[in-house]
Structure 1
């Protein structure tokens, strides 16, 4: 097996986030549960955008946020995702490349437009995401760079992109390429709605060994197992994957790797401003720690540090220098 030239290559939705403050009444009037994520068509997205308060446009997308964070931690990263030939597509491409991430996916001409996520942030820092997937859901298998996948230590996939058939087929092809090259495959469950739609398939993939590293939050893990006992759920899934990482919000995170258990507390933070991207940046810190050969516990600490930074401001991309935060905390 050849030495990898990239620490990670991720496949995910290429989305531009539009964040705006909103009160609980506005969220309720939209008929969506606060803190959840819903999919919408372009017309509905345009209508909501017209009624939102002043917003900030920041490139996002779950897996894209993760590799952006990893790049800031000194990792060599690549990203595969579909944008359209439009202004938001240019914004996304510029932002991810500016972070030092290799992004060579060809733009898609015509409709639909580049994906966007309209994020309503309430005073308690909860974010309610309203997503138009646009061009991102048309990522073709032809966009998968076999050599790039085979050259990466880890292939990282987001559950959000499992929904549409075309990118799901692309990710399944990438999984085969990665495993044939002797690389690891990491997968994040993304949201309970993904499990509601594809839980049986996720459980099948896990049982068949498709994923070496699995990320979930507590609610997603319980939805995956169908139980209400957290410890039992951890034990059940940890027996099926090489590494299981579960975040628990203010209660920190746990990981089990080849039978070794580790747990860390959440990093202290003066004020939570916006929880957008917390799980994405936790994954970034953890995977960067693993790529750097750090211990399981230190990798969890790195995840907690990265997550704490991103929830201290608006947007899902770090603003502080993550590598300096980690050095100050862990050395």
Structure 2
């Protein structure tokens, strides 16, 4: 395998996306804007109800860190994705989709079990709510991960959704150990307000002694730090992390290091679906940093890419569109 720049760890899920009403969320007892874990039977019941009364928008290979990795790769970076899928049709479809996007995977990602699925529910206000059956990805462990590419990577990227799994947290700990031994920088995303609310201890374990780059949105930042405003939240996050990016939706992003704090304005688009926007932001930001951009330039590219994701249904753009968007703005790349 050729040397890669980004080594990412995350869940492997096949997304089924639906347009739904707010009333439907209420009748299904789903909390808007968060991710809820469920067993296979609950997932099947919800899927049946969705097919009977809501609007189906399509299927896509998902997973938060996978979406980030696709954006990084489509912009021109070489990337590897460590995950776990079942020995079934959906599992092979998932890995094939990553490979077609130019992302390296390992055959040891395949194991006995059922590939996870996620019902992505988009309400009229474009907010996304997720109902997830993790399947075998809930048992991601060191056995499914080929750590060799990590030794020569530039970045290790970790999704916060792994905080709910004991075996995945152990795998992340090993990845962090390898990264530190080989001077690989570490980035992590808090991923979801539900992870902050229900898996705080797991997130704290994933963060360990801090990371080089932390991604979160405004709600996650305030919840995780238990503060009332962004300045206070940022101060807390910078105590243990070298760089922090707080996405602000249409208002853009707040990016900060130990020495500077910058607000980068958002971009006006007609929002359709927020699913995957934060993931795309992280992938574009990491790519720009990898290419030598400063924090502000990286945020500009990330906002451009993520705003285009918001303007369509689905968590990823067509592969060729990432490069076209990159070419449409001026970046001081090394």
Q: TM-score, normalised by structure 1?
A: 0.94
1:117-147 alpha-carbon deviations (Å, 9 max, x no partner): 1011122211111000111111121223232
Q: Which residue of 2 aligns with 1:266?
A: 266
> Aligned equivalents of 1:107 and 1:243: distance in 2?
31
Give the Å deviation of 1:41. 0.3
**Which residue number corresponds to residue 153 of structure 1?**
154
Q: Is the 8 A contact 1:70 1:77 kept in 2?
A: yes
Change over 3 Å in CA distance of 1:48–1:274 after alignment to 2: same
1:24 correspondence with 2:22:
yes
* Distance change >3 Å, CA 203–CA 167, structure 1 → 2: closer
Give the whole-Å Cα distance in 2 for the aligned partners of 1:201 and 1:19. 28
How many angstroms apart in 2 are the aligned matches of 1:246 and 1:44? 33
Q: Which runs of 5+ in 1 are unaligned?
A: none
In structure 2, what is the equivalent of residue 114 of structure 1? 115
Runs of 4+ displaced beyond 6 Å: none
Q: Does the Cα contact within 8 Å between 2:67 and 2:279 map onto a contact in 1?
A: yes
Task: Check conservation: 2:139, 2:167, Cα contact below 8 A.
Answer: yes
Alignment of 1:1-331 (within 5 A): 5-53=3-51, 54-111=56-113, 113-203=114-204, 206=207, 209-269=209-269, 271-319=270-318, 321-331=321-331
- Structure 2: stretches of 5+ with no match in the other structure: none
Q: Which secondary structure does the structure 1 equivalent of 2:47 belong to?
A: helix
Q: Deviations over 1:87-146 (max 9, x none)?
A: 1112211111111000114244433x1011101112221111100011111112122323
| RMSD, matched Cα | 1.6
Q: Secondary structure at the match of 1:32?
A: coil
CA distance 1:260–1:5, change in 2 (3 Å): farther
Secondary structure, aligned partner of 2:313: coil
**CA 1:107–1:179 in structure 2 vs 1: closer, same or farther (change >3 Å)?**
closer
Post-superposition shift, 1:37?
A: 1.2
Q: 1:287 to 1:107 in 2, by over 3 A?
A: closer
Aligned residues: 325
Give the distance between the partners of 1:110 and 1:181, measured in 2 at CA.
32
TM-score, normalised via structure 2 length: 0.93
What is the rounded CA distance, in whole Å, between the counterparts of 1:292 and 1:60 in structure 2? 26
* CA pair 210-239 structure 1, distance change in 2 beyond 3 A: closer
Q: Give me the whole-angstrom Cα distance separating, in 2, the residues matched to 1:105 and 1:212.
A: 30
Residue pair 1:205, 1:211 contacting (<8 A) in 2 also: no
* Paired residue secondary structure (1:6): coil
Q: In 1, distance between residues paired with 2:31 and 2:194?
A: 12
CA separation of 1:107 and 1:297: change in aligned 2, threshold 3 A: closer
SS of 2:155's partner is: strand
Distance 1:11 1:205, change over 3 A: closer
Are the equivalent residues in 2 in contact too, given 1:144–1:174 (CA < 8 A)? no
Partners of 1:290 and 1:299 within 8 A in 2: yes
Asked if 2 retains the 8 angstrom alpha-carbon contact of 1:267 and 1:304, the reply is yes
Change (3 A) 1:81 1:176: same
Counterparts of 2:258 and 2:145, CA distance in 1 = 30
